[in-house]
Chains A and B, each alone.
Chain A
Amino acid sequence: MKNIIIKPTKLLVLLMFFLSVPLTATGPRVSSNILSLEKNEVFALDLPPFISTEADKNGALSEIVNAVFAEEKIENSISIIPLQSMIKYYLTQDTTLAVMGRHLGISKEDNKSLMEIPLYLSNEYYLYYKPLHAKNLEFNGKLSNLKGLRYGASSGEETAAYENAQIKVENGRTLSLFKKLKKGTVDFISMPTQSAQWILKKNFAHESKDFVMMQGGSGSVFISIYFNLKHPEGKTLAGSFKKGLQSIVTNGKYASILEKHLKNPDDVKLQLEQINKFLK
């Protein structure tokens, strides 16, 4: 057996190596630089099942946005936020690359420095809580039929039409609007069908039948990503995003993600029509 003899100089080098190792090798160290993804952060407003930390891959639209960025080989992260007021804050920051969601409260002034890229056309319906309304609420396409009632609007939603129809408006977060319906502090709300189904299943499973959808859709709203043109790379990255979106629509990824999450082939067909119209 060969004797292992280490010369003093080598020993010193080895010793210095071992002395330096424990500084970094005794366990995870918490610092913002190794854990935070601050590059190309998109701030998104919670809206299950489209955008939600509760949903697989953070929801259908989060997965689509990540797929588009990946297609263009752009690193990104999505921070999902529960409050519209925080999205409003990020809209005012030059350092924000993009925000996404529904009813973000974007003013005409804000809009001048944003580039909107629609991701999904949400067809919405009015809902009310049947046990508190012995007489069914009827919309039938006319807001005047709901005069005198109280509408639960999403924070950031444009509500002039309701006020003009003498309908009182109260704001709230998506889930809290359902709670307000049940409590009777609002009479009706407007919600994407998929969001209503998700929330009722998760939070009101035993009484989901008490939440009734009115006849006639309440309208269509785009759920979009808005690039901030004041951001140094906002315009360029918005262009890349649009190109990437075109690619994943063409290669079928957009449709397959929607199908996986929403399980509604008719809706996917409708969305493809809409997105192709936009991309033309």
Chain B
Amino acid sequence: METRKIEIPVMADLFARGEKPEYLFWVGCAGAYDDRYKKVARAFAKILVHLNISFAVLGKEETCTGDPARRAGNEMLFQMQALQNIELFKAYEVKKVITICPHCYNTFKNEYPDLGADFEVISYIDILNKYMDEGKLRVDAEKFKNVKITYHDPCYLGRANGIYEQPRAILKKLGGELVEMERNRSFALCCGAGGAQMFKEAEKGNKEVFLERMEDVLKVDPEIIATACPFCMTMMTDGIKYKNQEEKMRNLDIAELIAESLNL
């Protein structure tokens, strides 16, 4: 199979040339630094290129949205990050932002407007689903045929923002056999990493939250756990390891599943 190299367009470069992309692809700290989630950023960027979508990233100018600081009570730090980001977006005349992290998505969409932000925020799940529905993103429905997939709802797409059906619609279009865990959609159990828990040890208890969730997974015994959040991915991937399921199960992000089915 032939391949070609792709360069990810950077906002500052485009701006210097007087070009303006339609979308800002907000990679997020996990997409930039977490080894596992970097692969998701790569998969999604490939899909954007495949679809000829006009986009750019901020690169070195990108910084934390401030979300974990806000949820951990550091409102001062959150607002400093938010106001800086809003200034930067204004300077680049950003009108539409695509995120691959539900936490970035939520704070941009629901919280930044209080601080003067004025841009549209789109979850990658929504844009992928839209392109599939419009027939612009055609996947190979054979690739995951009869593959048992379960979807773990991230709290910040699901309960926080009501995005329950779009990821499931994508999985169905991929041809997978979607199996639901008992706790799904608005009933879904958190992976345990939200609210800045990702960055600290859990308080004393009798179990890790991700293991409780992993037991839900084991009950439906899928081949693939589909996730749509970097923190959920860390937790579910850990869960697979802890429960010695590495031979049987993979944890993939929805963007990765699409890229895989497209052979990108």
Q: State whether these chains interact.
A: no
Residues of A within 8 A of B (CB): none
B positions within 8 Å CB-CB of A: none
